[in-house]
Structure 1
Amino acid sequence: MQIMESLNFKKIMRGYDPEEVDKAYAEIQNNLSEANASNRELRLQINSLREQNTELKNRLNSYEGMEKDLRDAMLSAQRIAGQVKDEADRAAQTLLENAKIEAEAIYSETEQQAKQRIAELKEEEEQALESLNQLTERISELTEQKDELELLMEKALNQLEILRQTLEL
């Protein structure tokens, strides 16, 4: 209706301008085609949404049935879980007792191995200290020899200097 109200044609002799009328008609026809296309698209969307709604209702009914089955299964599972828990508690207590016995045996064995290793390390430490003492003595001897060699080198250099001076004269 708005389109019709906005149409104002110039009056010319013998009626309205045919070009303006043709343009207005083409515009109205174009708008009508667009409205029809939009209407068809909306109807397709409505049909699609109706189909989706039906599908979702079917799924909901299916899920409600599954929910009931799950509730029943949960009740059964709770009963079974209680039985399994009791059995697991008994088995855990047995395992715990066995683990304590095994842990004590491992602890004793480990303690014995540790004592043996400590003794071995003490022996190695004594050997290392002895080697260190020997090396320290050897270093002292070498230091003394170095000092003596430095003195001998100094004397030799002095004598060479004297000889050089003598030869220069």
Structure 2
Amino acid sequence: MLMQKSLLYKLLKLRNRACGLVAGALLCVPGYIMAEIEYSSIAENAVIMYDAPSLRADKLYVASLYLPVEVVVNVDGWAKVRDSSGSLAWVEKKALSQQRYVVVTVPLADIHQSADMNSTLVFQAEENIVMEWLDSDAKGWVKVRHSDGQTGYVKVNQVWGS
């Protein structure tokens, strides 16, 4: 009987140690998985996007004012960014703004008065229209402002950059 208790004690101790290791490892994982995506926007009109972090690198395309981008890598004076199409490019950090914008990714996005499908439809925005990101306080919705001043809520799956 004493031998069984001793064996049981050892097994429980091993199980607790294993659970502690697994729990500790899992505590490290969410910080990596849930790392917040850093969005910025283009702060100037006609910003050149490069294939490497250098003014001597090949020019890929020209980005317009307010284009939302996801910052993927930061290096001295440069940021590697991704746009809504998934394209990667390098841009000078001085051409970026912390002001956030979103771009419509569906043919026609519905912008509602509140974060509710049954609320009043304020306006609709066509694909590729850029709107100022105001807040993401309602799950599944983004509060936006159109360049003409109208504000409302759009479903998060209708825009990119939120």
TM bucket (normalised to shorter chain) is: under 0.3
* Structure label with greater radius of gyration: 1
Q: Greater relative contact order (Cα 8 A, min sep 6): structure 1 or 2? A: 2
Larger strand fraction of residues: 2
